[in-house]
Amino acid sequence: MYCLATCVHDHMLSHVREAKTPKEAWENLKKISAANMTTRKLQLWQELNNIQQKDMSLSDYTAKIQSIFNSLSSINVNIEEDKMAQVCLGSLAQRFDPIRIAILARENPLLFSDLKSMLMVEENHVRTKSKTSEGQMFFTNSNGSQG
């Protein structure tokens, strides 16, 4: 009992102290752990269902999704990569509708790792295109001619 009492968190000590045997203390801790695991799983699913890219960069956005899936995996919830890709595509910002439509039109499901790569390419393309447009505007005179 002493070992259990010294190895558990303070908020669990009362459950250990209430037990009459080490086996009963262990069973109490297992129940608490299972309840905490269920709560954590629900919290992570809720976070995943509510995620939106909005103003996040694609790399930050996919990293956030990956982090949630890693957390789910750490509590023994296995998710297929195509499900991860579905979640990612479903909550992309509207400005990425063209690539979303192209990806959804594919015959074969896309794995999350492949989707991340495609999205990074698209983000770099948009960024490069934006810088090129800014550079052209910089060299345009007020009358519209290049200067």
Q: How many domains does the chain have?
A: 2
Residue 123: pLDDT over 60? yes
Q: Write down the pLDDT at residue 41.
A: 93
Q: Please state the pTM of the whole predicted model.
A: 0.68
145 and 87 fall within a common domain: yes
How do residues 73-90 score in pLDDT, each as one tens digit? 999 898 888 888 989 999
34 and 58 fall within a common domain: no
20 and 89 fall within a common domain: no
How do residues 86-122 score in pLDDT, each as one tens digit? 899 999 999 888 888 888 888 888 899 999 998 888 8
Q: How confident is residue 24, by pLDDT bands cut at 50, 70 and 90?
A: confident
Residue 64: pLDDT over 90? yes
Place of tokens 């956005």: 61
List the domain range (segments joined by +) for residue 69.
54-147
Q: How confident is residue 6, by pLDDT bands cut at 50, 70 and 90?
A: low
94 and 146 fall within a common domain: yes
Closest Cα partner for 60 from 71, 51, 49?
A: 51
Q: CA 64 to CA 50: how far, in whole Å?
A: 12
Place of tokens 């447009």: 133
77 and 124 fall within a common domain: yes
Q: Does 28 or 141 have the greater pLDDT score?
A: 28
Span 35-39, average pLDDT? 88
- 120 Cβ neighbours under 8 A, 6+ residues apart: 58, 59
Rg (CA), the chain: 25
41 and 58 fall within a common domain: no
CA dihedral 55, 72, 114, 116 (to 10 degrees): 20
Residue 3: pLDDT over 70? no
Q: Are 92 and 100 in contact (CB under 8 A)?
A: yes
The fraction of the chain above a pLDDT of 90, given in percent, is 28
